[in-house]
Amino acid sequence: MRKKKIIAVVDNDTEFVQKFSNTLKKLNLSNKFVTKLFGINVEEDIPKCIQNLKKTKGPLVAIMIDIVIFEMDDSSELLAVVEIFEKIRREFPNLPIFFVTKHIKEEYLPLICWCSLKDIDGILIKQYLYLPEKDKLINKEDKFHEYIPLTKNDIEKIFQEAKRKRDAYTTASTLSIHKNVEEENYKIIRELLHPDERSALQIKDIGSTTFIHLIDELFGERASRSGYVTISYFRPGFSGSYLFRIDVDIGKKKKPYLMKVNNDEKIKMEFDNYEKVHKILLPENYPQPTENYVNYGKWGAFGIDIQQRMVTLSDYLCLGELEGNHNMITNLGKVLSQLYKITSGMPTRLWKEYYQFSSKINLQLLAFFEDKKTLLQEFTEKEKIEELENFVFTNGKNLRSNYENRYTIYVGNIHGDLNARNVLVYPESKQIVLIDYANMDVMGHLTRDIAKLETDLIFSVLHSNSKKFYDWNSIAIWEAVLNLLDLKNIFNFNFKITTSDTEIEKISNFIVGLRKSLKEDIYPHLSAGEYLNSLLYYSFHYLVYPDISIQKKVFGTKWLSQIITQLKNVSANT
């Protein structure tokens, strides 16, 4: 059954909602639309109202804001509603927003004039949205319906036209720019900003005009037009964002930034998360963003101030022998300890309540096993591949003991996407800064961050700068890291893998250090079963990431099968 479209009404009384709902019912539209009141009585209610709007379950089709929400004692108070609108528009840049009012007397004309200047999708008069009635619900002075009767088509056209207008506005950067202008702007970028080839390709995807606008807004038109800005590629994670390293000349020095570009709504949400992190982390661990995020059409961007020689953990581990890893892990543990706000333990069916696959990932995994079944069975027993496939198909229910097993877990404010490209390292001091807080979770299971980083090191970093990443013979070599999954080794911090491959030794030692920091410094209550569940969840995801080699994915089935074996042992011992 199709969900009803929700018309959100930001108002301080129920009269309009009741009457407009009655209109929808009489026009036989109540099966398509439902109105929902989001009350505001004083200015302090705005943040809570926005939070409730964002939590709305169901498709929002429009927001209607009463432009006399606050009773006005003097003319200066009419701007209060403008502030409400601006805050709501920032959160919902692509959604039609209307002002609604029934006060059209002379003293309210300034209100209508001021509001009409804002980026709204229409001002609607409440009386027009009521059907004429013979009872006392409609004031006798209302004459609107004598001239323009409201129909079912009128209501639907209002929302359709507003959505068309909104879509045209948010995509103006690509729809209304002439091809010659776009090509000229791309020429300016190549001549003045000197992007490398990978960055140039990403700029083409975003659009040259859009990119110039975002750069100018963030770093100043004078800087970009004077050739004081240079752009280079920065390998992103898996979130779909574009990342660039931006070097801005300041006097005789270059100031480096990371510039992140994505959908405007996503960028705004992430920028707000940085504000939350600012209140939690110590200054040396806080990735200072630019003063504001900027947007152009459907795109948004902000910059992150980084130190000159900072590199990603992924690049650092690939540079050669890792020295000072103990200090680096200790510093990472300190940052995570600051970030987490740990709650008391609670008994939880862990996989069932925290680690269900999304429908998208579920379908991608099923497609992977169907497509690669013959290949996978050349390297892993048929029964084990079928067990993994059945685990995905049932979303973990086939491993009944684990699915129903209760763990006393602790949750807190986690990063949510801790991979080796979101950890920045200053090589000399081993200082750690985390970036990309788009998936920050205030009630996340505390093992998730370290578990995701561990799986990223195994699947994405290990041998990524070597032909071994694509060598079928490497599968046998990688089997050495399966020893990390034995129950006796999960929290054995003296454990070392015996291998002639220095990179496997380096990565595995780093993983042992991460587990030690998590267990001893952050989460002493952690159990092996908890950690294995987190590893299982994230390891499955790497089977569908496009930049992971097929050789690593084949090895991944061995890794996953080993985790499931160990989880069976955990259940047998509980």
Q: What does the domain layout of the chain look like in residue ranges?
A: 5-170, 174-305, 311-572
How open is the CA angle 137-35-298, to the nearest 5 degrees?
135
pLDDT at 317: 86
The per-residue pLDDT for range 168-227, each reduced to its tens digit, is 666 554 445 567 778 888 888 998 898 999 999 999 999 998 898 899 888 887 777 777
Tokens linked to 423:
């950890």
pLDDT at 209: 87
pLDDT at 146: 55
pLDDT at 103: 66
Q: What is the mean pLDDT of residues 234-260?
A: 84
Tokens linked to 84:
């409400």
How open is the CA angle 210-214-216, to the nearest 5 degrees?
115
pLDDT at 515: 96
pTM of the model: 0.71
Percent of the chain at pLDDT > 70 equals 87
Q: What is the mean pLDDT of residues 318-345?
A: 82
Residue-averaged pLDDT of the chain: 85
> Band of the pLDDT at 159, cuts 50, 70, 90?
confident
Closest CA to 523 of 438, 358, 371, 412: 412
Residue 316's CB is within 10 A of a number of other CB atoms, namely 21
pLDDT at 142: 52
Residues written for the chain: 574
The per-residue pLDDT for range 349-378, each reduced to its tens digit, is 999 889 999 999 999 999 999 999 999 999
pLDDT at 80: 64
Are 309 and 427 in contact, with CB atoms under 8 Å apart? yes
Is the pLDDT reported for residue 534 higher than 80?
yes
Higher model confidence: residue 432 or residue 120?
432
The per-residue pLDDT for range 402-446, each reduced to its tens digit, is 998 899 999 989 999 999 999 999 888 888 999 999 999 988 999
Please, is 83 exposed, middle or buried when counting C-beta atoms within 10 Å of its C-beta (0-12, 13-18, 19+)?
exposed
Is the pLDDT reported for residue 28 higher than 70?
yes
> Band of the pLDDT at 518, cuts 50, 70, 90?
very high
Q: What is the mean pLDDT of residues 239-254?
A: 83
Q: What is the mean pLDDT of residues 502-520?
A: 94
Q: What is the mean pLDDT of residues 156-166?
A: 80
Closest CA to 419 of 238, 574, 179: 238
pLDDT at 463: 96
Q: In CATH, which of 3.40.228.10, 3.40.50.720, 3.30.200.20, 3.90.1210.10 is domain 174-305? A: 3.30.200.20
Are 560 and 532 in contact, with CB atoms under 8 Å apart? no
The per-residue pLDDT for range 371-412, each reduced to its tens digit, is 999 999 999 999 999 999 999 999 999 999 999 889 999 998
Is the pLDDT reported for residue 75 higher than 70?
no
Whole-number Å distance between alpha carbons of 344 and 353: 17
Is the pLDDT reported for residue 41 higher than 80?
no
* CATH no. of 311-572: 3.90.1200.10
Alpha-carbon separation of residue 381 from 273, 373, 392, 485 (angstroms): 45, 11, 17, 19
pLDDT at 135: 42
Domain 5-170, what fold? Rossmann fold (3.40.50)
Q: What is the mean pLDDT of residues 438-465?
A: 94
DSSP secondary structure, 45-112, as one string = GHHHHHHHHHT--S-EEEEEEETT-SPPSSGGGGGHHHHHHHHHHHH-TTS-EEEEE---SGGGHHHH
Whole-number Å distance between alpha carbons of 439 and 417: 6
Q: What is the mean pLDDT of residues 6-32?
A: 87
